[in-house]
Each structure stands twice: as C-alpha cells, then as structure tokens.
Amino acid sequence: MSGNRGVSYEGPGKVEVRVTDYPDYELKDGPGVNPANVGRKLPHAAILKSVATNICGSDQHMVRGRTTAPTGLILGHEITGEVVDTGPDVEYVKNGDLVSVPFNISCGRCRNCKERKTGICENVNPDRPGSAYGYVDMGGWVGGQAEYVLVPYADWNLLKFPDKDQAMEKMLDLAMLSDIFPTGFHGCVSAGVGPGSTVYIAGAGPVGLAAASSAFLLGAAVVIVGDLNKDRLEQARSFGCETVNVAEGEPKDQIEQILGEPEVDCAVDAVGFEARGHGKEAEKEQPATVLNTVMDVTRAGGALGIPGLYVTGDPGAADEAAKQGSLSIQIGLGWAKSLSFVTGQCPVMRYNRQLMQAILHDRVQIAKAVNATPISLDDAPRGYHEFDEGAARKYVIDPHGMLASR
C-alpha cells in the first residue's frame, strides 16, 4: 500500500485535497513536525483506514489564519477508522477492528496519563504537555482528514466498537466520540450539571450543541443556548433547548425572561477566543466577552466548564495583548462569586467508553443534535467554506464512501 490523500492547509482561507504520504512507523520531517520528534520510531502504532473524519471548529481557527500553522499541514483530529495494519509492539488491537480515536494523543505511561489527564500527556509533544493530530504546535502528528492515518500507542488510545455492523449503522453518532461529544460532556461535568440544573451554554456550534445534548443526558431541567447565528439557534431548539440571540442584547436579560431570574446554576463556554460582543457590539470581536458573561450569569458558588479553545498566540487578534493570549477577564467577579473554573483539552478517554454505550443503547442522538452531514473527501474544501460561513451542520468527511454506501 503506498497511496494516500489528505486535506491540506494551504494558507489563510484555503484548503485543498492533495496526495500525501502513506503512514509509516516512523515520524518523518514535514509541515509542523517538531524537530525533536523527527525520526521517532513507532512500533506501538496502528494504521487506520479512515471511515469518518470530521471538520472541527478548532480546524477553522487555523484555516482562518488565526494561528502559526504552516502551509502543507494535513488537518484533522476527529477520526474513526478501521485498523488495517499494526506495529510489532501492538498486542491487543487487531486488523479489521473498527475504532474511535481520541483527539488527544497520549502515551499511557506518564504521570498525567495514569491520572486520566490524557489531554496533557507529557511524552508526545516536546514543547509542552498535550498533543493532537493535524494541529499547530502539537508535536507534528499527521492529521486524519485523509484516507489513511497513523495512531501511536494504539493499544492505549483506540476504543474498539464491540459490534462492527451495529457500529456502522450508528457511525454518524459514533464519529462524534473522537472529540465534540466528550468535549461537550466534559464542559457540562466540569460545570456541575446534574438532575434539575439550569444551564447556559455559550455557542451553538457543534461543541455547544454537543454540550447541550450532554446537559440533557446529565438530567438538566433547562438548557439555554446563546449565539448570534439564527440557523444554529434553530438547530438548538430542534431538540428542546431554550435560546438567546446575543445580537439582541445581554444574555442575562434574556435568561431572566426564560427562567424568571437572571442567573443559572452552571455555564459552559463553547466559543473560545474568537468570541464576539453582545447587542450592538455583536459584529465586533471581543475575545473575553464569553468568559465574562458566563461568570456574570452563573449563580454564586457555581462552576464554569470552559472547553472553548483559548490560545497562547493569536496573530490575527485585534490588540497586542490578545495576540499573546492575554484577555481582559473580570477575575474579580469570578472571585467574588466563588466560582470554579475548569479549562483545557477534554481528556476524551475519561468519557468515550460510557458515551459509546449511551449511543449504542439509544440513550442519546448526538448526530441529530449537531446535524451531522457526510461529505466526500473531495468536497472537504466546500465543507470548510460552508462551515466558516456559519452552516448549522457538523461536516463528516467520508474518505472511502463507506457512509454513503449505508
């Protein structure tokens, strides 16, 4: 086997599908590969045939030119696939297994992995703890928006689906296990969502919608989703959410109209660093807006889940401080209200097996909630464009036509 094609970042606003290397059991030099990782031997890895590989809002940050991502980077960290080959050190994963790949790359050996903090593995990124496929400053592991992809530490990382036929029938749902479903769920767990909770979720993109679905799964009584995209708000309402349009004013005022009080028990930031203002400021980028809002609308003693992406470097930011990841956060407000904060990558392996069971046993319809939409690999550039324009969809790339054939 020698052929492969993948979705390549070609500069701000541009991606294209191009021929790329077939995976090998050694990390080779290439766009974004950390020099300290070049030549790294990977006998513990497996090669997957990609069955489903999704476009993520985090990918869009790079494609918009908001990071230092190099051209030629093969994108994609949301991967579901079939094992087609394994390295000599792989014991338990077998050819033919249908598996979900956590977007966090983790070794299973370091202190953080042993503590189930797989989003900050110490051994896969020479620059800092934490890594992901096809992402800037994450060590240079090749992305999975491709026909074939390599997964290191396969016995540790891969989640095997117990029944292949059942899994293929539910593949659009199971494809969400690599990132957005656990990420949204983690945001809600971090915020303390439980039976009877009232919850505000900032952002009606796929992660926000996944968080809303997760809130219901956790027993929330009222889930309120805020955004300025009317189509995405309509998608949130389609499975029982209340909504606020932040372009029409402050969420606090609209929350009071829904609940009879201006505060919720818990809140989730599913927006991140490209946040915009509210009301008349809705078209203006104000990266601290959502963080300050979730502090404002959460009751004293409550908690905030912050799975929305924040970066240490944003070359496209509106001011010099934000370019360094420094935002005007009202930390005094959060301190005065004794709020708890949880930030960072979701440790996918903490949740993915349980969420897989919820999908397989029909306890949740996550694909329907996020409006999962299959497209071919060749249609990936169109998917990126439409998603960037605000489409109320989660695009799932189908490199081999395995979803279309179902």
Predicted local distance difference test score (pLDDT) of residue 318: 78
Predicted local distance difference test score (pLDDT) of residue 206: 97
CB atoms within 10 A of CB 168: 17
Report residue 350 as tokens: 């903490």
Q: Are 107 and 124 in contact (CB under 8 A)?
A: yes
Q: What is the mean pLDDT of each run of 10 residues along the chain (406 residues)?
A: 89 96 96 95 98 95 91 97 98 98 98 97 96 94 98 98 97 98 98 98 97 98 97 98 96 96 97 88 87 97 95 81 86 96 95 98 98 97 96 97 82
- Taking domain 5-179+348-398, whether its CATH number is 1.10.3210.10 is answered by no
Q: Which of 287, 347, 283, 342 is nearest to 313 (CA)?
A: 287
The dihedrals phi and psi of 199, each to the nearest 5 degrees, come to: -130, 135
Predicted local distance difference test score (pLDDT) of residue 406: 64
Domain limits, CATH 3.90.180.10, in the chain: 5-179+348-398
Residues 6+ apart with CB under 8 A from 132: 77, 103, 104, 105, 138, 141, 345
Report residue 92 as tokens: 């338990």
Predicted local distance difference test score (pLDDT) of residue 404: 80
Report residue 221 as tokens: 């009584």
Q: Which of 350, 361, 370 is nearest to 162 (CA)?
A: 361
Report residue 225 as tokens: 């989703």
User: Distance of CA 173 to CAs 153, 164, 169, 203, 367, Å?
Assistant: 25, 14, 9, 20, 5
* Distance separating alpha carbons of residues 274 and 318, to the nearest angstrom: 10
Domain limits, CATH 3.40.50.720, in the chain: 180-343
* Distance separating alpha carbons of residues 159 and 93, to the nearest angstrom: 9
- Taking domain 180-343, whether its CATH number is 3.40.50.720 is answered by yes
User: Distance of CA 293 to CAs 158, 297, 334, 352, Å?
Assistant: 37, 6, 10, 29
Report residue 167 as tokens: 């899994």
The dihedrals phi and psi of 169, each to the nearest 5 degrees, come to: -65, -30
Predicted local distance difference test score (pLDDT) of residue 385: 96
Predicted local distance difference test score (pLDDT) of residue 1: 52
121: amino acid identity, one letter: C
Report residue 156 as tokens: 């540790």
- For 233-267, the DSSP string reads HHHHHTTT-EEEEGGGS-HHHHHHHHHSSS-EEEE
The dihedrals phi and psi of 306, each to the nearest 5 degrees, come to: -125, 70
